[in-house]
Homo-oligomer: A and B are copies of this chain.
Amino acid sequence: MRCKLKLTRAEQKALRPQQIIDAAFEEFARNGFAATRVEDIAARIGVTKGTVYVYFATKEDLFAAVVMQVSQPFAEMIPYIEAVEGTYQERLKKVIRLFYDKLMVDRRARELIRFMISEAPRFPDLVDRHDDEFMAPIATRIKSLIDQGVAAGEFRDGPASWFAEIICAPALMMTFTRVLFDNRRPLDEAKFVEAHIDIMMNGLAAN
């Protein structure tokens, strides 16, 4: 109980990297990599610049750590997709809703997307790694789900089955309206999700 008030030095030390990553996420999200100052990251958690360098050798390393950290929501998607049950239609609907859950509920997931797009030329390895570990496996599983739906006679055997990206694209689209306009130009998100599911289900439906 007292641990909230006074941590031992060892506890402090164990917490620091996470604190720094959290603070860095906020600053990178606000300013982008280049325009973020290490000092501002430090100030957010009440330490000084030097402390950041105790845990991370360079600003780039810290950025990479932030990206790995905020990839977590995507990692969680994989077992979820593997575990969905019901008809294939139901399963696909759940997967689509999962995207919105991750992207709209968890700001970290949204900003990760933005990091990827913004900093792609500076961090190509990071982009590839993120694709290898998260996006590609997710796409594979969705495609496999569609293929099974086709085999089960629920979906028609069209070219759409080859591209999970198409099925999920509208979720990304909504992500950008948030990222671009913050809340300046609101969208009826519930309706948007239903429309998305509606058109994809109709588009995929057999006969």
Contact = CB atoms under 8 A, between A and B. Distances in A.
Interface of A: 30-35, 114, 116-122, 124, 127-128, 131, 156, 158-160, 162-163, 165-170, 172-174, 176-177, 179-182, 184-185, 191-192, 194-196, 198-205
A90 B162 CA distance: 23
Nearest to A160: B199
Contacts of A191: 159, 162-163
A144 B33 CA distance: 40
A198 B117 contact: no
Given A32-B118, A117-B180, A159-B194, 15 more contacts: A31-B122, A32-B32, A32-B121, A117-B118, A120-B179, A128-B181, A131-B181, A156-B202, A159-B198, A160-B195, A160-B202, A165-B174, A166-B173, A172-B172, A198-B203
A99 to B, nearest CB: 12
A133 to B, nearest CB: 14
Q: What 9 A-B pairs come out closest when comparing CB atoms?
A: A203-B203, A34-B34, A199-B203, A118-B118, A169-B169, A159-B195, A160-B199, A169-B173, A34-B35
A197 to B, nearest CB: 9
7 contacts: A31-B34, A32-B34, A32-B118, A116-B180, A127-B180, A158-B195, A160-B198
